[in-house]
Structure 1
Amino acid sequence: MGTGSPPDTGEETRIHRAVSNDGTQIAGRVHGNGLPLVLVHAGLGDGVLDWGAAAPFLSDRFTCYLMSTRGRGSSDDHPTQSVARCVEDVTAFVESIGEPVGLAGGSGGALFALGAAARSEAVAAVAACDPLAFETLSEEDEARLHDAVERMAELAAADELVEAARDWMTEWTTDREMAALSESGYLEACATYVPVLLQLLDQTDDLSPTDPSTLQQITAPVLILYGSQSDATWPWFTESMRYIDEHVADTVVREIDGAGHMGAWVEPEAYADEIVEFFDERLS
């Protein structure tokens, strides 16, 4: 169990850069050698924070690109932080590699990955780890999400960014996952992205990567990974998984025993094992 940066192996730091549609430079750390695998972070993180712990279990088989959307990691910032722009960031990054790639994303990052897969033939296969679908939100769910955003905004306005990150993550984690994130220093590290996430949540647009018409455009095979305990945190999580499975043509669904919604962060080896098996068959 763990989160954070990959261990120091003496490997020279490699950065891959691409330019999004509006000119924003998007960057990602590169680890390993092999077939290309682009890894997309969730709402409150960056490529290294969210996939650093899984990278050692993937980089002996794949060239792992731990990309960050605008305003995260080494990517340039931009005042526009909409879902549409983030999907464009992922699409531009994927296409800049110059060959068919595997694409994986966790939570909100799975949303961006699915959106890019619907747009680009460069995506050969997708792993959607604990994906979200806002189309499945009930009125009660919407109220819960709204309250969480309001609390995060109030704490951020008081310059309590770490508490804002901690409060936000309570909506997404099991107690076990929250303890792991707290002990690893993840909450302190991702607190800097609270303002960026608030911008993203505030700048609504017409694009939904999980609209049925968009999901039906995905021709690449999709692995849906979800934690067996995610339903205990919020039934919306498993409803989202079932919804995406219903609307994407070619899916494989795998459950990670004992994991919650944040399993890809705190159970990286279990998620990596499924990702390796899936992409080994579809990228080679």
Structure 2
Amino acid sequence: MTSTVTSADGTTIAYTKVGSGPPLVLVDGAMCYRDSGPMADLAKGLAAAFTVYYYDRRGRGESTDTAPYAVEREAEDLEALITAAGGDVFVYGCSSGVALALETAKRPGSGIRKLALYELPAVTDDTGKHWEPDLLAHTDELIAADRRGDTVKLFMKTVGVPGFVVAIMRYTKVWKTLTGVAHTIPYDFRVLGDTGYGKPFPADRWSAVTQPALVMDGGKSPEYMRNSQRRLAEVLPNARYRTLPGQTHMVKAAAQVPVLTEYFSG
């Protein structure tokens, strides 16, 4: 059943609540929302141990949107949901949802007790292809011209999806879903900031995130991704690092549920 909460700027954030136990909020990555992405399956697996909240980030699914976009507004969305969940919660972020979780956790009085983070999209050395310098400006231009398909193609290219896979996707049902939320891709690039340009993480960007954090990656993920997660664990004040064997960026719920249950229950 869908519930809603109102963010500070009046945006309506739609969410689903399942299970029983301590509150746990799940934060999706780019273009994902409750009806299209991994969180519904993950929530189902975690519901035996936690009261799980998963939601549609602004501009997606049943949530509304309010211009102009700002990272601070998305952090307020998550804070509003945290308040609805009782104000003292665990948070799990996946992909770009990692950056949003961290941006929220560093705010005073965020209500986040503990963090689990899976594969922040980042290139912090020369083992992966750096993002194009004008990536955000180019993405903004495509959205302003309502070139949604081209926006999705640019995003897919940036994150390393092979061209032939993108070409096939254009003839599947999922393409309509992806283009339907293409306008939120610039939001994710703004949340991520400069994580993809081959530079080390600034030491002070998340220095205020003092909550315990578990930084995870997949054993089959590319070298650049795994290097970045190790570096993220090093710059966070209170973090540890773990690899999930056999997993990639498209991590399976079955691989995460026991790890998250053990970590958040400890």
**Counterpart residue number, 1:254:** 242
- 2:21 corresponds to 1:34: yes
Q: Provide the residue aligned with 1:198 in structure 2.
A: 186
Match of 1:8 in 2: none
Cα distance 1:69–1:137, how it changes in 2: closer, same or farther (>3 A)?
Answer: farther
Q: TM-score, normalized by length of structure 1?
A: 0.74
Report 1 or 2 for greater relative contact order, CA contacts < 8 Å, sequence distance ≥ 6: 1
| 1:171-205 deviations in Å (ceiling 9; x for gaps) | 43677xx79x9699655433311012235547999
Deviations for 1:17-47, whole angstroms, at most 9, x for unmatched residues? 3222222222211122221110111122224
Equivalent residues of 1:21, 1:89 under 8 A apart: yes
Matched, 1:223 2:210: no
1:132-151 matched pairs, under 5 angstroms: 132=121, 136=124, 141-143=130-132, 146=134, 150=138
Give the secondary-structure state (helix, strand or coil) at the position aligned to 2:61. Answer: coil
- 8 Å Cα contact 2:46-2:261 kept in structure 1: yes
* Match status 1:276 vs 2:261: yes
Cα deviations by residue, 1:204-230 (Å, 9 ceiling, x for unpaired) = 999xxx753342212211111111222
User: Number of residue pairs matched?
Assistant: 253
Residues 204 and 252 from structure 1, CA distance in 2 versus in 1: closer, same or farther, beyond 3 angstroms?
closer
The one-letter amino acid paired with 2:98 is: A
Distance 1:84 1:137 in 2: 28
Determine the C-alpha separation between the residues in 2 that align with 1:167 and 1:79: 23
Aligned residue for 2:10, secondary structure, equals coil
Please show how residues 119-268 of structure 1 align to structure 2 within 5 Å: 119=107, 120-132=109-121, 136=124, 141-143=130-132, 146=134, 150=138, 154=142, 157=145, 159=147, 161=149, 164-165=151-152, 168-169=155-156, 171-172=158-159, 186-198=174-186, 201=189, 211-232=202-223, 235=224, 237-263=225-251, 267-268=252-253
The percentage of counterpart residues that share the same residue type is 24
Q: Aligned partners of 1:82 and 1:258: how far apart in 2?
A: 36
Q: Distance in 2 between matches of 1:102 and 1:32?
A: 14
- Aligned partner of 2:85 in structure 1 is 97
CA RMSD of aligned residues (A): 3.5
1:49-128 equivalence runs, <5 A: 49-50=36-37, 51-119=39-107, 120-128=109-117
Q: Would you say the 8 A contact 1:126–1:220 is kept in 2?
A: yes
Give CA-to-partner distance per residue, 1:73-112, whole Å, 9 cap, x none. Answer: 2211112223222122112221232241110111111111
User: Which is richer in helix?
Assistant: 1
